[in-house]
Copies of this chain bind each other. A is one copy, B any other.
Amino acid sequence: MNAPTPFAENIIPLLPQPYLVFLGDTTVPGYAKTAFGLRDWARDLCVGEYSCAPDAVSAGLPAMTPAEAKAAGARSLVIGVANPGGVIPESWIVALVEALDAGLNIVSGLHARLEDIPALRKAAARSGQRLIDVRVPPENISVATGRKRSGKRLLAVGTDCALGKKYATLAIAQAFKEREINTDFRATGQTGIMISGGGMPMDAVISDFEAGAAEMLSPDAADDHWDVIEGQGSLYHPAYAAVSLGLLHGSQPDVFVVCHQPGRTHILGLPDFPLPSIEEVIDLNITLGKLTNPAIRCGGIAFNTSDLSAEEAEALMARESKRLGLPVADPIRKGPAFEALITSCLGDT
């Protein structure tokens, strides 16, 4: 990834890189999404991985102790796993203290704050290292104004949470850059912030300032500049729709891309909430998004087809594209469908 443009420093201070990726004692791959995201999108920023249990999941990076990682140039240990409660279990403390004592900062995107753990606070003070919680928003966020800003913006939205918005926007930002378009990826979640080195942890912002935080994340820019903004949640999620709406209003996107995972039938973890249709998600994002950008439009659909074979995925996406009258592509598989999605988003067609 390119270095973030300077104003990102006003959002989250740039993180000390490169990283040693910590996998804790987690045995469930689903909990190691941050580690996998770092491996996939910031491989050159990861010197290795470290865990504190022999059967912990692996991100396939070279195994290293904190001291070895420090010697290899690492500046921070990044917590690459999350457990359901977002807490820091007792079983990790020895390993985290070891990292601090080895001269590494600790970067965490968990709900629990590093500063709240006395053993870490003490070790950080002793070693002169920093405890960095990327979920802690900056203190100077203003209430949103709704003022139209210069430059262009793309936002990922979803039929649900946790189905590929981050990967989709990282791939779209990369494709824009490959077309030599002046582009910034704007991270809105902890993994995205770790990957890009800056951003705004939208789900940790106080509700009154949610739209204002999104305005701050994508400031005025050159007319031909694109901010590609990572999405969060779904307007159809009974817990997280407030995050999605504040992000939509504050981002005032010119274009949005609907992210969807074929086969998902209900909101993740909530069997009583059926997944909305793609058409419903398009319509509702236009209805609500036009409050701050009357010209908002859908650029296409990003499918997460990781559960399907290449042939199945291609056939499904061709069928859905025809049905919806919009490009449908898997940003990870790339190919002509993805090129069509990029072209549609840019408005060249």
Interface residues of chain A, those whose CB is within 8 Å of chain B, are 143-147, 202-208, 210-212, 235-236, 238-243, 245-246, 249, 270, 272-273, 284, 287-288, 291-292
Sort A-B residue pairs by CB-CB distance and give the 7 closest, nearest first: A146-B238, A242-B246, A144-B239, A203-B208, A210-B242, A242-B242, A207-B243
What's the nearest-Cβ distance from chain B to residue A157, in Å? 14
The residues of B that contact A207 with a CB separation of less than 8 Å are 202-207, 210, 242-243, 246
A246 CA to B143 CA, complexed, in Å: 17
A203 CA to B147 CA, complexed, in Å: 21
Judge whether A242 and B249 touch: CB under 8 Å: yes
Judge whether B236 and A291 touch: CB under 8 Å: yes
Judge whether A241 and B236 touch: CB under 8 Å: no
A284 CA to B283 CA, complexed, in Å: 12
The residues of B that contact A288 with a CB separation of less than 8 Å are 235, 241
Partner of A241, one of B203, B204, B246: B246
Judge whether B206 and A204 touch: CB under 8 Å: yes
* 29 contacting pairs across A/B (C-beta < 8 A): A145-B238, A146-B238, A146-B239, A146-B272, A202-B207, A203-B206, A203-B207, A204-B206, A204-B208, A206-B206, A206-B207, A207-B207, A207-B242, A208-B239, A208-B240, A210-B242, A210-B243, A211-B239, A211-B240, A211-B241, A211-B242, A238-B249, A239-B249, A241-B245, A241-B246, A241-B291, A242-B246, A245-B245, A273-B291
What's the nearest-Cβ distance from chain B to residue A154, in Å? 19
The residues of B that contact A241 with a CB separation of less than 8 Å are 211, 245-246, 249, 288, 291
